[in-house]
Structure 1
Amino acid sequence: MNSPPVIAAVDGSEHSLAALEWARAAALRHDRDLLIAHVLPDHAQLYAGRRASLHDASQPQEFANPVRDRLLTLLGGGPGFPEGVRYEALEGSVPEALRVIGAEARMLVMGSRGRGGFASLLLGSSSRAVATTAPCPVVVVPHAERRADPADAAGESSAGRVVLGLHAAETPDDVLDFAFAEAAARGAALQVLSAYAIPPSPTVLIDSPFAVVPPEGLADGGDAVPAEREMLRSQTERLAPFRVRHPEVPVEQAAVPGDPAGRLVTASRSAALVVVGRHHPRHRARSLLIGSVAHAVLQHAHGPVAVVPTLHDDA
């Protein structure tokens, strides 16, 4: 493919089929092909290995693949996949197989696989491992118990807004590039959310609603407390080159007291997508550690979350 595709990771579960619908829409928005990646279950991989090692021509060439058959039915009902869509069966562990194929992706989309009755958590072990190690942005689409609107089959709010969690001094450019590109592709507003640790005054509660401020509303003599005012100005400075590249994207800025992860989780209830950086700013660009904010948002968000790695050491 000339342009990196959108990859949907599927395993036949309802979680993964919701992710597939989200990925199909993303591929259309970005004018990219859609690659459906299916990591074969262990028994299918064992069969393939046994047949190859024994060179037994009497055995069927392929193991029955009900997931592929179901996808064919869902996507067109014909003998092959529609134009612009291809299917690839992968072998190996889920995180490693998706990490390898993710090297060619615009983004990799997958469903959550939470088990054990923890409906309050978005993330299962496979989703966590892929979001931590994939060399491309990973979008995790929530299961039904976590969606703000359970009737939304793809986990995407009709509000259409993209929310970016920003630390003005430390969030890599790759994260901002992804957020602006997503908002531009949707024709949507981008809300930029930063949080500071000190509450504005003893009379303001941490969980009080925050104000969204357009850049043109930042007057020198504004009523915002110094911490809020400084954060908004830092945002404005950091966002300036991206706004020049994407003049079509309306930008809303919000500086709020309290925990950034908690604020982003709250924002996820009405957002089409929440975008966060993968790494703690002090980690190396290709570190396998995931930052605390990204981890918390992935665990508790009510809508799709994009975790964007630092793709360049100098980003």
Structure 2
Amino acid sequence: MKDSHAIAVGINDSVQSQAAVDWAAQRAKKAKLPLVLLHVVDDRWFAEPRSWQGVLWETGEKLLERTAVDTRENAAVEVTTSLLNGSVGGSLGKYSRKASMLVVGSGSAHMGGALTDRALQVAAAARCPVAVVGTQDLNKRSGIVVGVDGSEEALQAVAFAAAEADRQGEELTVVHAYSDPERLSDAGLTTESMRQIKDEQERLVLAESVAGLSETYPDLKINKVIDPQHGPVRALLDASSQASMLVVRNRGRGGFKRLLLGSTAHGVLAHLQCPTVVIPFGKRNRKEA
């Protein structure tokens, strides 16, 4: 990793948060980067007197201190801490300008579903890659999966994923999913020739997405997967079910540009299969990770 900035991890007292700390610490150790533990006290709704705010700040400081001690002992990595205040998404998003990567836990059980709101907010607001980590056992997993759709954002996701796969000595799987025109045939909106044209266009999108990677990473094995049967979310979830990492862009050619987090990123984070890295849009070239 060429960025000398620390890896930052947002923590609370959940098991998902501890999994994120462990994952981030191992990554920091391999990259020889310092680790920063962050805890956010959301004090936006406190009115005077602020006695409860003081309790939360003290609790947050103790959590940071305890986690830092454990992480230094277990991972042998340089660890510092920072206590932030404000909204979780906004505070971590602002801090992300100082980090090479921001890591957060996937959320916990809440009202019958997965509480992924905070992770989604952080992924939407951050200015650096955001890794969302769950509690899956990663010991027997391998391979880096990345989704593409022909957008410039997706090319940056491929650049990150390829560098990661090459660095880790793992295979890279590039997935492109699209809608088969046959779904529209009953309405008389397409023909067999149109389907062939569509298939050729989408194969070209996939080919262009990996163009030049073999020259940059001659030892990297690249698997190309094209899926006209399922949507991007389903295709990526299936492809990453046994992967060590999934990489997606925060938004691409579909949807509204005013939305900070695209539907594909939202979908895979809501059904997390493995550590998933969301790449923000920025002017980076393929050689940067």
Same fold (TM over 0.5): yes
Shift in Å at residue 284 of structure 1? 8.3
Q: Which amino acid aligns with 1:174?
A: Q
Matches within 5 A, 1:27-38: 27-38=28-39
Query: What's the CA shift string for 1:170-207, capped at 9, x where partnerless?
Result: 54432122111221221111100011211789xxxxxx
**Which residue pairs with 1:107 in the alignment?**
101
- The one of 89, 94, 112 equivalent to 2:88 is 94
Q: Which amino acid aligns with 1:236?
A: A
**Which residue pairs with 1:67 in the alignment?**
63
**Structure 1 CA distance for aligned equivalents of residues 107 and 267 of structure 2:** 16
Shift in Å at residue 107 of structure 1? 1.3
Compared with structure 1, are the counterparts of its residues 172 and 260 closer, same or farther at alpha carbon in structure 2 (3 Å cutoff)? closer
Q: Is residue 210 of structure 2 the alignment partner of residue 239 of structure 1?
A: yes
Q: Which amino acid aligns with 1:70?
A: R
**Structure 2 CA distance for aligned equivalents of residues 6 and 181 of structure 1:** 17
**Which residue pairs with 2:133 in the alignment?**
141
SS at match of 1:240: coil
SS at match of 2:248: strand
**Structure 1 CA distance for aligned equivalents of residues 21 and 96 of structure 2:** 15
**Structure 2 CA distance for aligned equivalents of residues 250 and 238 of structure 1:** 15
Compared with structure 1, are the counterparts of its residues 293 and 283 closer, same or farther at alpha carbon in structure 2 (3 Å cutoff)? closer
Shift in Å at residue 312 of structure 1? 3.0
Compared with structure 1, are the counterparts of its residues 83 and 280 closer, same or farther at alpha carbon in structure 2 (3 Å cutoff)? closer
Shift in Å at residue 85 of structure 1? 2.1
**Which residue pairs with 1:268 in the alignment?**
240
Matches within 5 A, 1:135-284: 135-142=127-134, 144=135, 147=136, 152=137, 156=138, 158-198=140-180, 228=199, 230-257=201-228, 258-281=230-253
Compared with structure 1, are the counterparts of its residues 200 and 272 closer, same or farther at alpha carbon in structure 2 (3 Å cutoff)? farther
SS at match of 1:89: strand
Compared with structure 1, are the counterparts of its residues 138 and 87 closer, same or farther at alpha carbon in structure 2 (3 Å cutoff)? same
Shift in Å at residue 296 of structure 1? 0.9
Query: What's the CA shift string for 1:59-115, capped at 9, x where partnerless?
Result: 9xx94632123214422459xx95532222222221121011101222111002244
**Structure 1 CA distance for aligned equivalents of residues 71 and 108 of structure 2:** 26
**Structure 2 CA distance for aligned equivalents of residues 307 and 190 of structure 1:** 16
**Structure 2 CA distance for aligned equivalents of residues 302 and 137 of structure 1:** 18
Q: Percent identity?
A: 27
1:278, 1:309 within 8 Å by CA — same for their partners in 2? Answer: yes
SS at match of 1:255: strand
Query: What's the CA shift string for 1:105-144, capped at 9, x where partnerless?
Result: 221110022442434x4x52211111111111111112x4
In structure 1, stretches of 5+ residues that fail to align are 51-58, 202-224
SS at match of 2:212: helix
2:36, 2:81 within 8 Å by CA — same for their partners in 1? Answer: yes
Compared with structure 1, are the counterparts of its residues 195 and 98 closer, same or farther at alpha carbon in structure 2 (3 Å cutoff)? same
**Which residue pairs with 1:55 in the alignment?**
none
1:200, 1:227 within 8 Å by CA — same for their partners in 2? Answer: no
In structure 2, stretches of 5+ residues that fail to align are 184-195
2:36, 2:82 within 8 Å by CA — same for their partners in 1? Answer: yes
Compared with structure 1, are the counterparts of its residues 261 and 35 closer, same or farther at alpha carbon in structure 2 (3 Å cutoff)? same
Shift in Å at residue 242 of structure 1? 3.0
**Which residue pairs with 1:298 in the alignment?**
269
SS at match of 1:197: coil
Query: What's the CA shift string for 1:13-35, capped at 9, x where partnerless?
Result: 21111001111122233332222
**Which residue pairs with 1:208 in the alignment?**
none
Compared with structure 1, are the counterparts of its residues 104 and 22 closer, same or farther at alpha carbon in structure 2 (3 Å cutoff)? same
Compared with structure 1, are the counterparts of its residues 292 and 135 closer, same or farther at alpha carbon in structure 2 (3 Å cutoff)? same
Question: Alignment RMSD, CA only?
Answer: 3.5
Q: Which amino acid aligns with 1:19?
A: A
